[in-house]
């Protein structure tokens, strides 16, 4: 019994030594050291905090004049334009003691909160910006995201638009009447209770099954979206005349997280838990070719079909700083550390097992 307790103690003693190093290595590829969680705020009265922030104001237009490193912009004013002017926001990654991980939010639209309720933010445009992280429209209506590149854009509100951007898209519960069109979309989450929103003329290049938990519209009545696996899923689909539209509608499964986990891990969980109100949802007019965002038309070239589409296959619509990449050496070092920890743990187990056998 004492040897078993010692083995557990040694393994638990080794892991805390390795995990902080792996955590630091995960951020070592960033050109900036983690220095906290600073914010630049556009206040309700139109002022900017801090006053020396690299943002100039001309009427209701707030223009970013430099890249932001390890910072977040919080918008608390209606009827404004945040003009990125081609700049980049590198979002906060760590803060506090170096172990607290924050949501990587580059721009957040924040409502007015009062004891008797929340007043939604309205009529905010965010454009011409690259965010190495996420944009969050929290309780915002009639907002517009245009020519933006971000990891994800999350919307909680109604009558918002995402256009000519490259990003993942998330629609929160009870979100409606949003328009998502002419984008390169790399991930997708549609929560329960979403209604009357439309997706069309987008290029979907999804690396995993989408989380689609509500029935919304996937076309405008005559044109749908380009799905990177369309010709793989429907190898016999053909173009209708010269319309650029396939003759087979694209079915999108409305599935629960458990179904995604089962597919991801090859049935490891041995469950099939579909939502009880499951109804097949479809893109009735899927595009045979990607939508050319720059020229605002369906591309004429036939895309190369692959079973594991990559976001790099999508046509680009804007330029800007590339996300920081971790050096191959750091990745290799992290793998080596994990292997060494595993080997050490196994070696200790074998050693104590043999010693116990010798003593008996």
Annotated domain spans of the chain? 1-29+327-360, 40-326
pLDDT value for 170: 94
Please state the pTM of the whole predicted model.
Answer: 0.69
- The pLDDT value recorded for residue 191 is 86
Q: Are 86 and 107 in contact (CB under 8 A)?
A: no
Where do runs of H (alpha helix) occur along 101-141? none
Burial zone of 28 (CB within 10 Å; 0-12 exposed, 13-18 middle, 19+ buried)? middle
- Per residue in 150-192, pLDDT (tens digit) is 999 999 999 999 999 999 999 998 899 999 999 999 999 988 7
Tokens found for residue 326:
């971790």
- CA dihedral (46, 41, 55, 36) in degrees, to 10, reads 170
Which stretches in the chain have pLDDT values below 70? 1-37, 92-103, 113-116, 253-280, 300-360
Judged on CB neighbours under 10 Å (0-12, 13-18, 19+), 19 is middle
Do residues 103 and 138 make contact, with C-beta atoms less than 8 angstroms apart?
no
Burial state string for 340-356 with b = 16 or more CB within 10 A and e = fewer than 16: ebeeebeebeeeeeeee
* CA atoms of 78 and 120, how far apart (whole Å): 9
Whether 24 and 350 have beta carbons less than 8 Å apart is answered as no
Residue 193's pLDDT is 83
Dist. CA 305–CA 258, nearest whole Å: 28
Tell me if 234 sits within 8 A of 248, measured CB to CB.
Answer: yes
């Amino acid at each position: 019994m004492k040897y078993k307790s010692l083995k557990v103690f040694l393994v638990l003693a080794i892991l805390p030594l390795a995990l902080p190093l792996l955590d630091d290595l995960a951020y070592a590829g960033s050109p900036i050291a983690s220095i906290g969680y600073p914010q630049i705020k556009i206040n309700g009265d139109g002022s900017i905090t801090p006053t020396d922030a690299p943002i100039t104001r001309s009427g209701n237009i707030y223009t970013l004049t430099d890249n932001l490193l390890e910072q977040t912009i919080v918008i608390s004013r209606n009827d404004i334009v945040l003009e990125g002017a081609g700049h980049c926001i590198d979002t906060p990654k760590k803060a506090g003691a170096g172990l607290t991980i924050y949501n990587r939010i580059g721009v957040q639209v924040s409502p007015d909160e009062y004891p008797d309720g929340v007043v939604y933010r309205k009529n905010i445009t965010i454009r011409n910006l690259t965010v190495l992280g996420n944009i969050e429209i929290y309780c915002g209506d009639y907002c517009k995201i245009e020519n933006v590149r971000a990891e994800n854009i999350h919307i909680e509100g109604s009558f918002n638009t995402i256009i000519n951007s490259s990003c993942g898209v998330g629609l929160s519960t009870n979100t409606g009447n949003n328009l998502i069109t002419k984008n390169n979309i790399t991930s997708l989450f549609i929560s329960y209770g979403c209604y009357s929103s439309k997706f069309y003329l987008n290029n979907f290049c999804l690396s995993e099954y989408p989380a689609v938990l509500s029935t919304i519209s996937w076309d405008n009545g005559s044109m749908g979206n380009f799905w990177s696996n369309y010709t793989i899923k429907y190898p016999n689909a053909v173009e209708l005349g010269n319309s650029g539209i396939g003759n087979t509608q694209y079915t999108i499964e409305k599935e629960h997280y458990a179904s995604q986990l089962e597919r991801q891990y090859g049935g490891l969980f041995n469950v099939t838990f579909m939502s009880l109100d499951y109804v097949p949802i479809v893109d009735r007019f899927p595009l045979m070719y990607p939508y050319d965002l720059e020229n605002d038309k369906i591309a004429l070239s036939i895309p190369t079909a692959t079973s594991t589409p990559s976001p790099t296959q999508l046509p680009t619509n804007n330029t800007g700083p590339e996300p920081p990449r971790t050096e191959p050496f750091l990745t290799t070092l992290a793998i080596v550390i994990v292997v060494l920890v595993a080997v050490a743990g196994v070696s200790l187990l074998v050693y104590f097992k043999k010693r116990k056998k010798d003593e008996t």
